[in-house]
Chains A and B, each alone.
Chain A
């Protein structure tokens, strides 16, 4: 069963296109990385899936139906916005009690246990907590809802490396506990962080989907071909060349394979997730690589 299936989903804000004909599929039980440079449409896609925004065109099917204002649909969605929206004057305990009043499957014990484990005070106004602590509170609340689909917009942005590891551990635990009934989509700039947990990827650039699929399959289908500098037309006919780079004597081709490479002049090398992401962002615009940081960018 698919957790998410969109068909030519588009969103325009006045004259700006935030998302263009986005067609993606995420099977149930996956952890899906949503990557792309700033302004690529990651947040827009997540908000459309959560039912917080309405598409201009196209359709989305989330947990078996269109995102809608319906308690049952909303109960299945756990959404955490990038801005970490919490009531600053309320304590974490207040939020836990609000959640208990507003959600049918609320697990207050889970949220309390997690925050106590992280030594985050439950009785202190959320506004007085550090940014990282606030993010942990918001995350604990999102998980306490026991959603079937977790949509996390830049969850690492406010977390230090240790907190990141804590968060990923919690996420892994939630996944194990849900036994295949939990799907996660998390957007981030940090490919290295995502690599550890994600088994699915959606790459957005310039409001378009560049890549969508199972990470292992995609890595197997892509190779870097290194060979002498010569006409690449034969390769282009057989495979999809994503990116090319050349020195005086040698050319490097990033290709999506369509069968085996016959030309023995080329040496095929495996690609990493980071290389895959960079290649497709570079395919969209030459400078896209600059936007994608692999070393803990703040936002």
Chain B
């Protein structure tokens, strides 16, 4: 069976390896440039954080989108290898050949899907290794690795995405019996699930931490924390997010008049005066966040969710393949 899989995928595998190598060359070349730029900045600023803030971005334009390769590769693999795995055999009727050799369908699917899922994990692992390394300076500078859009392209989650997208393709192709609809299901399903999980589910993997602080001061969680919400809490317990648009109407009139540039602003208006006024009225600052120490547990939970879903899809595929007519 393994030989059949090798014969079926050796050409596509070679193309995929060549494309991956090309992508790796680009990422490595760019990554080394960014790294040396970052080191130069570090030397120049010698530990001054204000100096660091004033430096230009590390990566610009198209290059800054490089990490998305660790989302694109899983989706593409699911569409091009996963969707046709069963569907194309049914379409071309080669299933009649494969399933009347002296090999059960269960074994056929085990070996074929097994190797392809492994290939997906390997490709996902390769791209995420590259993007994680590439993102190193950016993570160090912006402490952004936990933020949506960064969390998704680094660490181990792309491996989970790749395995899931492959499994989704295999399952969709088995149900639809046709490659094209299965490709659409992979694309739609992968994007939709990723949106739901990254926008709604991920922040609830563990109960977020909320810290209250003095409004005249400032608070930033240590390390690469993921700040979910930050703002002010009124004496009555009303929570208002940061941003004057939300905050201004909620403030007591006496504090509003201290905001520079507002109609009827008092003399001596300044932001600090507003904050002092808020403090005097019993306002506190708050920050709700996932601490940096939860980065890897979150990576593990998210990868686990995708791997479990993939396992369920593959289990369903086995049931269908064994029971349904060819």
- Residue in chain A with minimal CB distance to B325: A53
Interface core residue of A47, A69, A72, A86 (most chain B CB under 10 Å): A69
- Residue in chain A with minimal CB distance to B105: A69
Q: Which of A91-99, A229-237, A250-258, A286-294 interfaces with chain B?
A: A91-99
Kindly list chain A residues whose C-beta atoms are within 8 Å of the C-beta of B94.
85-87
Interface: B106 (CB within 8 A): yes
> B325 touching A74 by the CB < 8 A rule?
no
> B100 touching A77 by the CB < 8 A rule?
yes
Interface: A176 (CB within 8 A): no
Q: Which of B2-10, B210-218, B260-268 interfaces with chain A?
A: B2-10
Q: Which residues of chain B (60-111) have a CB below 8 Å from chain A?
A: 92-97, 99-106
Closest CB in chain A relative to B314 CB, distance in Å: 18
> B326 touching A101 by the CB < 8 A rule?
no
Closest CB in chain B relative to A137 CB, distance in Å: 11
Knowing A71-B103, A145-B102, the reply to whether A52 touches B3 (Cβ < 8 A) is no
Closest CB in chain B relative to A141 CB, distance in Å: 8
Closest CB in chain A relative to B87 CB, distance in Å: 15
> B3 touching A101 by the CB < 8 A rule?
yes
Give the interface residue-count category, chain B: 20 to 34
A103 to B107, CA, bound (A): 13
Knowing A69-B104, A94-B7, the reply to whether A85 touches B97 (Cβ < 8 A) is yes
- Residue in chain B with minimal CB distance to A138: B97
Interface: A197 (CB within 8 A): no
Beta-carbon contacts of A22-55 to B below 8 Å, as 1s and 0s? 0000000000000000000000000100101110
Closest CB in chain A relative to B112 CB, distance in Å: 12
- Residue in chain B with minimal CB distance to A94: B7
Closest CB in chain B relative to A63 CB, distance in Å: 13
> B322 touching A69 by the CB < 8 A rule?
yes
A103 to B99, CA, bound (A): 12
Beta-carbon contacts of A62-77 to B below 8 Å, as 1s and 0s? 0000000111101101
Interface: B26 (CB within 8 A): no
> A104 touching B102 by the CB < 8 A rule?
yes
Q: Which residues of chain A (101-117) have a CB below 8 Å from chain B?
A: 101-104
Knowing A54-B325, A69-B104, A103-B102, the reply to whether A81 touches B96 (Cβ < 8 A) is yes
Kindly list chain B residues whose C-beta atoms are within 8 Å of the C-beta of A77.
100
A86 to B326, CA, bound (A): 15
- Residue in chain B with minimal CB distance to A74: B102
Q: Which single member of A85, A98, A101, A103 contacts B95 (CB below 8 Å)?
A: A85
Kindly list chain B residues whose C-beta atoms are within 8 Å of the C-beta of A98.
3-4, 7, 101
Interface: B1 (CB within 8 A): yes
> B97 touching A87 by the CB < 8 A rule?
yes
A145 to B105, CA, bound (A): 17
Kindly list chain B residues whose C-beta atoms are within 8 Å of the C-beta of A99.
101
Kindly list chain A residues whose C-beta atoms are within 8 Å of the C-beta of B7.
90, 94, 97-98
- Residue in chain A with minimal CB distance to B322: A69
A81 to B92, CA, bound (A): 12
Closest CB in chain A relative to B199 CB, distance in Å: 41
Closest CB in chain B relative to A52 CB, distance in Å: 4
Interface: A160 (CB within 8 A): no
18 new A-B contacts at CB < 8 Å, known A74-B102, A98-B7: A52-B96, A52-B100, A52-B326, A54-B323, A54-B325, A69-B104, A69-B105, A69-B106, A74-B100, A74-B101, A75-B102, A77-B100, A78-B100, A87-B94, A88-B92, A101-B3, A102-B102, A138-B97
* 10 sampled A-B residue pairs with Cβ under 8 A: A47-B325, A52-B96, A53-B326, A54-B325, A71-B102, A74-B103, A75-B102, A88-B92, A141-B97, A145-B102
**Which residues of B line the A interface, CB within 8 A?**
1, 3-4, 7-8, 92-97, 99-106, 322-323, 325-326
Q: Considering the complex of A and B, which 7 residue pairs feature the smallest CB-CB distances, nearest first?
A: A102-B101, A75-B102, A53-B325, A85-B93, A79-B100, A85-B96, A81-B96
